[in-house]
């Protein structure tokens, strides 16, 4: 095996423990807001499955955007 095989890849940091970026607080806040949203959808539409359908659609959109290269950091305005 070529010893330089890693040079074909860009570096990637996966911060599972939250030491580099405190993502846990943001994640918790996001889940709380999602729960509030779920309650609002249930109150408005009386359809318990609607939130899950909308959430699945959002997830599919995000993954499609990642695959298409549409999801990226915008340049400073």
- Per-residue pLDDT tens, the chain, 77 aa: give them: 555 665 666 776 666 666 666 667 777 888 888 888 889 988 999 998 998 898 899 888 888 888 888 766 555 54
- Is there a domain that residue 77 lies in? no
- Is there a domain that residue 42 lies in? yes
Domain count, the chain: 1
The confidence score (pLDDT) of residue 19 equals 66
- Is there a domain that residue 50 lies in? yes
**Cβ distance 15 to 23 under 8 Å?**
yes
- Is there a domain that residue 6 lies in? no
- Is there a domain that residue 73 lies in? no
**pTM score:** 0.51
- Is there a domain that residue 7 lies in? no
Residue span of the structural domain in which 46 resides: 30-68
- Is there a domain that residue 10 lies in? no
- Is there a domain that residue 2 lies in? no
Q: Residue 58, SS3?
A: helix
* φ, ψ (nearest 5 deg) of residue 11: -65, 150
What is the DSSP code (8-state) at residue 7? G
**Cβ distance 20 to 13 under 8 Å?**
yes
Place of tokens 């807001």: 33
């Amino acid at each position: 095996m070529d010893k330089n095989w890693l040079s074909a890849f860009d570096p990637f940091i996966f911060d599972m423990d939250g030491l580099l970026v405190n993502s846990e607080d943001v994640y918790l806040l996001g889940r709380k807001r999602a729960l509030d949203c779920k309650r609002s959808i249930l109150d408005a539409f009386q359809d318990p499955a609607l939130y899950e359908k909308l959430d699945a659609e959002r997830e599919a959109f995000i993954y499609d955007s990642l695959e298409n290269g549409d999801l990226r950091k915008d340049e400073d305005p």
